[in-house]
Amino acid sequence: MNATQYLVRAENLGKRVPSPEGELIILDGINFAVAAGESVAIVGASGSGKSTLLGLLAGLDTPSSGRVWLAGTDLNSLDEDGRAQLRAQRVGFVFQSFQLLPGLTALENVMLPLELADHADPEGAARAVLQQIGLGSRLRHYPAQLSGGEQQRVAIARAFASGPELLFADEPTGNLDRRTGQRIIDLLFSLNRQQGATLVLVTHDTELARYCDRSLELDGGRLQAAEPVSAAAPVELGLSVSV
């Protein structure tokens, strides 16, 4: 099996945390793979473990069992810094609550991942992306001076600025009204197409999930209707489940 054909692969992934009533199983026996260029929605009810899964896939937390392969690397074989470096080079993020750094301006926020990845011209690249999404006049503004929609656009600019192969998004429209949410979705998908990135999108909005090539449903920490993952034809398999 050639793992590099999948950009992301989860193998028997599980997460358990201790709780006063004994061990709490958040995720259990998760198996799936995402091929390069694919867009996948992870859907499920609140509390089903979507965010937890995303965190594990991105190496923000360590699993209790199983492993995650990211761009051909087993995350378990890396330490904190190794995982960070991997993210800096290949991964972008968009969150429900934007997660911009309040002390930095819009421009500085977008420059951040570029600088962490040792980009040659962080400022120029960041300016260009911000221009592109129509925030060229708000470069020196701080997050608190921007509306929710504008903040999410800055976050998207930050996610795409370094040209990541892989983009993780957790409820990117959850905190926005319908119309603004729609604009954000359009922006997200058009940038994604343009850059040919792989997208893993967490949402409980089935409407939104339809924009993706396929959906995975989490229920009580397990994947429902688990997709058969064939090592032979990952790309075709991905496309075959498209809407």
Partner 1 sequence: MSNTSLLLLAFRALRRDWRSGELRVLAAALVIAVASVAAVGFFTDRIQVAMERKSSELLGADLVIASPEPVQESFLQEARRGDLQAAATLSFRSVVLAGEDSALAEVKAVGPGYPLRGQLQVGDQPFAPAQFTQAIPKPGDVWLDERLLQVLKLAVGGRLELGTGSFVVEKVLAYEPDRGGDLFSIAPRLLMNLADVPATELVQPGSRVEYRLLLAGDAKRLENYRSWVQSRLNPVERLQGVRDARPELRAALERAQRFLGLAALVSVILAGVGIAIAARRFALRHWDSVAIMRCVGATQATVLRLFLLELLGLALLAGVSGVLLGYGAQEGLTRILADLAPVGELPSPSWRPLAPALLTGFITLLGFGLPPLLRLRNVPPLRVLRRDLGPSEQRAILLYGPAVAAVALLLLWQAGDTRLALYVFGGVVGTLLALGVAALGLVKSLTVLRGRVGVAWRFGLANISRRGTGSMVQVVALGLGIMVLLVLTLVRNDLLAGWQATLPANAPNHFLINIQPTEVGGVQQFLHDRGLAETRLFPMVRGRLMAIDGRPVNPENYANSRAQRLVEREFNLSWADDLQEDNRVVAGRWWQPGDHGKALVSVEQGLARELGINLHDTVQFRIAGQLIDAEVASLRTVEWDSFRVNFFVIFPPDVLNSYPATWITSFHLDKARKGLLTELVRSYPSVTVVDVDALMGKVREIMDRVVLAVEYVFLFTLLAGLVVLYAAIQATQDERLFESAILRTLGARKGVILQSLLAEFATLGLLAGLLAALGATVLGYVLAERVFGFHYSPDVLLWLLGGGAGLLGVGAAGLLGARSVLKQPPMQSLREGV
Q: How far apart are CA 46 and CA 8, in angstroms?
A: 24
CA-based nearest residue to 72, from 118, 3, 19? 3
Among 48, 152, 192, 198, binds ligand ATP (CB under 6 A): 48
Alpha-carbon distances, residue 95 vs 158, 184, 201 (angstroms): 11, 12, 10
Residue 47 in the binding site for ligand ATP (CB under 6 A): yes
140-179 footprint of partner 1 as x/- string (CB under 8 A): ------------------x---------------------
The residue (of 162 and 203) whose beta carbon lies closer to ligand ATP is 203
CB of 210 to partner 1, least distance (A): 26
- CB environment 30-45: b (16+ within 10 A), e (fewer): bebbbbbbbbbbbbbe
Q: Write down how long the chain is.
A: 243
- Residue 22 interacting entry, from ligand ATP, Mg ion, partner 1, none, C-beta within 5 to 8 Å by type: none
d(CA 10, CA 187): 28
User: Token pair for residue 142?
Assistant: 């701080």
204 binds, among Mg ion, ligand ATP, partner 1, none (CB under 5 to 8 A by kind): ligand ATP
Q: Using alpha carbons only, give the angle 93, 4, 80 rounded to the nearest 5 degrees.
A: 50
Contact track, Mg ion, 45-84, x by CB under 5 A: ------x---------------------------------
Q: x/- string (CB under 6 A) for ligand ATP, residues 147-186?
A: ----------------------------------------
Token readout for 146 is 């921007």
> Residue 103's CB: how many other CB atoms inside 10 A?
9
Using CB under 8 A, pick the residue from 11, 38, 108, 217 that binds partner 1: 108
Contact between 124 and ligand ATP per CB under 6 A: no
- Say which residues have a Cβ less than 8 Å from residue 63's Cβ, sequence separation at least 6: 13, 14, 15, 27, 56, 76
Sites of contact with ligand ATP (CB under 6 A): 17, 24, 26, 44, 46-52, 204
Sites of contact with partner 1 (CB under 8 A): 51-52, 55, 58, 60-62, 80-81, 84-89, 91, 93, 95-97, 99, 101-104, 108, 111-113, 115-117, 122, 158
